[in-house]
Amino acid sequence: MPESRPHPAPPRKRAPRGTLDRVRVLLAATAIMAEEGTEAVTIRRIADELDVRPMALYTYFRSKDEVLAGIYTRLLAEIDLPVADEGPDGIRAVMHAYYELLIEHAALARIHLAADHYGQGDLRVSEKLHGFLLARGLDDRAATELVATLVRFTIGSALLRPLPNLPEEDPQAWRNSQRDTQVVSASDRSPSPAPGTGLPDFTGDEFFEHGLDLILAGVPPRK
């Protein structure tokens, strides 16, 4: 009886020539990230998803980090921005959306911030904020400085939020911080009250809201 041999695997179907582009790569990578996490997003995994050879992706992205930065820029570009000047409330809505995006995709945000370029999504948000502030009577320099303050404060608040031992992760952390500060102040014999003495517990989100209030206090009323 002749020896049976396994049937060869059918040739892998490839995407039709000319159908691959940057958007398709990012859509596939975003789907992988949503289902399997950031670590699963690799050039080979994306190529498998698109039925192309890995080398085909290097036409559009030089590395996994570039793909992840591209996903971040695309997500940022989807933030809903107010059409008309809504004053501090409009700015607050933009910064809330930005903050939530950074929290949800902290790994993407860190990769994007380490990149040496400013993406279209960043420009879109910054230009909208800048326009709102100019409409409120700020000069170009003051508006630019306030936009930078808003963006950097929001990035810092979001990227620090998931760290362990912050109040929202450990309810005792803020009390411990107060206690440690009081010990240091006592050892220095400072006549001033220790920072944080008597304050209630705060979450990272509440810190963000408070800081945003302070920054937006600098936005003048509509002229």
Query: What is the reported pLDDT for 82?
Result: 78
Residue 154, Cβ density class (10 Å: 0-12 exposed, 13-18 middle, ≥19 buried): buried
The domains of the chain are located at 22-62, 74-168+203-216
First to last CA, the chain: 95
The three-class DSSP label of residue 15 is: coil
Percent above pLDDT 70 for the chain: 70
pLDDT score of 90 more than 70 = yes
Residue owning tokens 């240091």: 184
CA-CA-CA-CA torsion for 116, 120, 123, 125, nearest 10 degrees? -120
| Confidence label for 114 from pLDDT (cuts 50, 70 and 90) | confident
Query: What is the reported pLDDT for 132?
Result: 87
- Comparing 130 with 199, which gets the higher pLDDT? 130
Mean pLDDT of 132-161: 90
pLDDT score of 144 more than 90 = yes
| Confidence label for 12 from pLDDT (cuts 50, 70 and 90) | very low
Mean pLDDT of 2-13: 49
Over the range 6-39, which residues count as b (16 or more CB within 10 Å of their CB) and which as e? eeeeeeeeeeeeeebeeebbbbbbbebbeeeebe
Cα–Cα distance for residue pair 56/43, rounded to 1 Å: 10
Q: Using a cut of 0.75, tell me whether the model's pTM lies above it.
A: no
**CA neighbor of 204 nearest in space, from 155, 163, 167:** 167
Query: What is the reported pLDDT for 187?
Result: 52
CATH number of the domain located at residue range(s) 22-62 in this protein: 1.10.10
Two tokens, residue 100: 């939530």
pLDDT tens by residue, 68-89: 888 888 888 888 887 766 778 8
Fold category of 74-168+203-216 in CATH: Tetracycline Repressor; domain 2 (1.10.357)
Contact 166, 173 (CB under 8 A): yes
Residue 210 CB neighbour total at 10 angstroms: 10
Mean pLDDT of 98-111: 84
pLDDT tens by residue, 49-60: 999 999 999 999
